[in-house]
Amino acid sequence: MAKNLTTREEDYSKWYNELVVKADLAENSGVRGCMVIKPYGYAIWERMQAELDRMFKETGHQNAYFPLFIPKSYFSKEASHVDGFAKECAVVTHYRLKNAEDGSGIIVDPDAKLEEELIVRPTSETIIWDTYRKWIQSYRDLPLLINQWANVVRWEMRTRLFLRTAEFLWQEGHTAHATKDEAIAEAEQMMNVYSDFVENYMAIPVIKGTKTASERFAGALETYCIEALMQDGKALQAGTSHFLGQNFAKAFDVKFTSKEGELDYVWATSWGVSTRLMGALVMTHSDDNGLVLPPNLAPDQVVIVPIYRNDEEFEAVDKVARDLMKELRSKGIRVKYDNRDTQKPGWKFNEYELKGVPVRIAIGPKDVEKGTVELARRDTLQKEFISNENVVEKVVSLMEEIQNNLYKKAISHRSENTTEVSSYEEFKKVLDTKGGFILAHWDGTAETEEKIKNETKATIRCIPLDGNIVAGTCMVTGNPSQRKVLFARAY
């Protein structure tokens, strides 16, 4: 298969960049650091959005929309938040352009300077909590469970399609609660919603855990996260959910009267996933032939390609193809029938392999004679002939089979690339030879964490919520450690 795609072994990073562009997922734009999400990539994102949105609504959340711009002063209200988010950002300073008097083109009108600069939202806690002050007075107004689908901007210097872009799309949940326990339960619930989604729809296994203090969201008391392992042995944070305590309520003066008539600050959470998930999807399942998509998210689950040399053959093949398409659609399968006469079958086979369509069905004149079709799986690249009576049933069962197979392969890959180490030497050796997740004892201090990061570029991905909790001694300092934590080099 000549895809002209760099192989993963040759250069994993190059393979990723090429694949994202060639499979029509996204490309760089004329605006530094900003991507164009192409229709095929956007169709996958839309499927992700639809499932997540359903899950959010089933857990009682409503969508709303808050302003793109945040006045500069809002960021100063929450002390730790400003350092985390109000630094590398897009700043709107003027509100008008005009024609230059010398005819050289359009220039910024110096008379149209804003009194206060506006920041293009890097995240919306500040503007949302400024609004919640008006919405929350009593326990009757709580919990307030709101989500927003939006674009955000963080001025990144080195960008990569989906993984790190100046502008990206995401959802951000922002909830307000009467009690600390309820807010913590919400933050944990949303971490679980994310892991359900990533495991069952994206077929990516994740480790659930909490971040160390130094890796927390700016302004959070606890950050819950889900961590996935990519094929190259690097980790990717797939979603985070934050327990914000009363920090934002205090910063924006959001109080409520309890049932007992007492006035208290509100408890908060926020949680988000972004188009970064598209990068995780590509890097978990795809191969040297192109994308491999899990059926639950594939815009087209099945593609039918007709094969013929003349009109007579086309007519016969076309009838079988259309009947099959109808039958499959009636079973809820998303089917594309590519009957374009501008492209040859071989070109189409290549194209749909590159685009990761889970099942390809080819129908030629001989198949019509024999009452069969040729069926090819994208995940295993296996082909077989199936009789017309069995093909619908086969395709339906394949959807689940392929979904499960991708998940199992990813689980195996992760198992093979998760190592428990007991010394710092071993830690560094594993990191440099195979990479992957490394479980090791750590003394719980920010100093040791920083030292490891500086020396190895590995960070603590999370303190896992599950798994054996056995005490030991820190691999670096020898000081006591309550449990092993999860390290990796990460995207």
Binding site for a copy of itself (CB under 8 A): 27, 29-31, 34-39, 42-43, 45-46, 62-76, 82, 86-98, 105-106, 108, 117-120, 127, 130-131, 134, 140, 146, 150-151, 153, 155, 167, 169, 342
**Tokens 């007992």 — which residue?**
260
What are the helix (H) ranges across 362-478? 365-370, 388-416, 424-433, 446-456
Least distance to a copy of itself from the beta carbon of 465, Å?
A: 31
Which of 70, 316 has the CB closer to a copy of itself? Answer: 70
Token representation of residue 123: 């995240």
Least distance to a copy of itself from the beta carbon of 454, Å?
A: 24
As a whole number of angstroms, the distance between CA 121 and CA 324 comes to 48
SS3 labels along 169-236: EEEEEEEEECCHHHHHHHHHHHHHHHHHHHHHCCCCCCEEEECCHHHCCCCCCEEEEEEEECCCCCEE
SS3 32: coil
SS3 149: strand
**Tokens 């503007």 — which residue?**
127
Which of 62, 412 has the CB closer to a copy of itself? Answer: 62
Least distance to a copy of itself from the beta carbon of 381, Å?
A: 28
Least distance to a copy of itself from the beta carbon of 68, Å?
A: 5
Which of 35, 228 has the CB closer to a copy of itself? Answer: 35
Which of 17, 418 has the CB closer to a copy of itself? Answer: 17
**Do residues 185 and 177 lie in contact, with contact meaning Cβ atoms separated by under 8 Å?**
no
Which of 8, 276 has the CB closer to a copy of itself? Answer: 276
Which of 167, 353 has the CB closer to a copy of itself? Answer: 167
Cβ atoms < 10 Å from Cβ of 56: 21
Least distance to a copy of itself from the beta carbon of 236, Å?
A: 21
Handedness of CA 96, 99, 105, 110 (dihedral sign): negative
**Do residues 391 and 324 lie in contact, with contact meaning Cβ atoms separated by under 8 Å?**
yes
**Do residues 163 and 279 lie in contact, with contact meaning Cβ atoms separated by under 8 Å?**
yes
As a whole number of angstroms, the distance between CA 247 and CA 77 comes to 10
Which of 63, 415 has the CB closer to a copy of itself? Answer: 63
Which of 82, 392 has the CB closer to a copy of itself? Answer: 82
Least distance to a copy of itself from the beta carbon of 354, Å?
A: 17
Which of 326, 457 has the CB closer to a copy of itself? Answer: 326
Comparing CA positions, the residue from 44, 48, 269, 51 lying closest to residue 143 is: 269
Least distance to a copy of itself from the beta carbon of 100, Å?
A: 11
**Residues 6 or more apart whose Cβ sits within 8 Å of residue 439:** 418, 419, 420, 421, 467, 484, 485, 486, 487
**Residues 6 or more apart whose Cβ sits within 8 Å of residue 1:** 289, 350, 353
Comparing CA positions, the residue from 211, 352, 374, 378 lying closest to residue 295 is: 378
Which of 39, 371 has the CB closer to a copy of itself? Answer: 39
Residue 204's alpha-carbon distances to 67, 199, 293, 406, in angstroms, are 33, 5, 11, 8
Least distance to a copy of itself from the beta carbon of 63, Å?
A: 5
Least distance to a copy of itself from the beta carbon of 445, Å?
A: 27
Which of 56, 224 has the CB closer to a copy of itself? Answer: 56
Least distance to a copy of itself from the beta carbon of 248, Å?
A: 15
**Do residues 287 and 14 lie in contact, with contact meaning Cβ atoms separated by under 8 Å?**
no
Least distance to a copy of itself from the beta carbon of 93, Å?
A: 5
Which of 134, 309 has the CB closer to a copy of itself? Answer: 134
Task: Output the furthest CA–CA distance in the chain (Å, rounded).
Answer: 82
Least distance to a copy of itself from the beta carbon of 86, Å?
A: 5
As a whole number of angstroms, the distance between CA 177 and CA 357 comes to 43
